[in-house]
Amino acid sequence: MLKIGHRGAPRLAPANTMAGFRLAVERGCDWVECDCRAAKDGVVVLAHDPEVSDESGARACRLDRATAAELAAFDLGAGEGVPTLAELAEWAAGSGVGVMADVKVGGLERKIQLALAALPYDLKMVAGADDRGRMRFRDLDPCLPLSLTVNRVQIVALRNRLSTVDTEAVTLEYPIITPVRIAALHARKVRVFAWTTDDLRTMHRLAAMGVDGIISNRPDLLAEL
């Protein structure tokens, strides 16, 4: 079962930063999850929201108004700037770490595919893309592993979606995961990733059900599994 640091280790370092990714791995994570958006110059950078801010919230910067270089110099806290996906992939490739890239906006498929090319197929996965983006990823690289993200509202349509969506995995909001759903997905050769829990008891329960990976903000708890 994979232990995946959600945006790195956000309780220990700013989210989506290289320091956070390193700390997640140091504390036992096999993979890290990151959020992909575009800087003003089109470079794929790692941030959950369209705007980043420092730890105090006193300073903020919109991604579409700053270049990747300017975002790298923006202090999110502890001297950490906004990294690029290519930077993360290069580090992960040299460290044997997997990357789950969560796509937050469309139109970046080619750039994301190229950035992740530094990683072998068994150490990368793209999640979060809409149907159009997923089709684009398939056209660019049919072997690139994809994960369909499903929340509590979307779970009702999961069975119908799986009959039409080409995917290697699903990333399910953890409260909707059941042994029956896991068995049904595994029968289709679809891996199941649980997102996002920071409770050790819940992690143990999910692991006992047979999920293929758990995404958490608490790498320290994942290390106890």
CA distance 95 to 87: 12
The widest CA-to-CA distance across the chain, in whole angstroms, is 50
Helix segments in the chain, DSSP class H: 18-26, 68-72, 85-95, 109-116, 131-140, 158-162, 179-187, 200-209, 219-222
Indicate the pTM of the whole model: 0.97
Nearest to 8 by CA among 42, 37, 62, 47: 47
CA distance 89 to 103: 15
Summarised one tens digit per residue, pLDDT across range 158-187 is 777 777 788 999 999 999 999 999 999 999
Amino acid identity, residue 69?
Answer: A
Domain residue ranges of the chain, discontinuous segments joined by + = 2-222
What band does 153 get if pLDDT is binned at 50, 70 and 90? confident
Summarised one tens digit per residue, pLDDT across range 30-82 is 999 999 999 999 999 999 999 999 877 779 999 999 999 999 999 999 999 99
CATH 3.40.50.1100 fits 2-222, yes or no: no
CA distance 34 to 60: 20
What band does 192 get if pLDDT is binned at 50, 70 and 90? very high
CA distance 184 to 86: 35
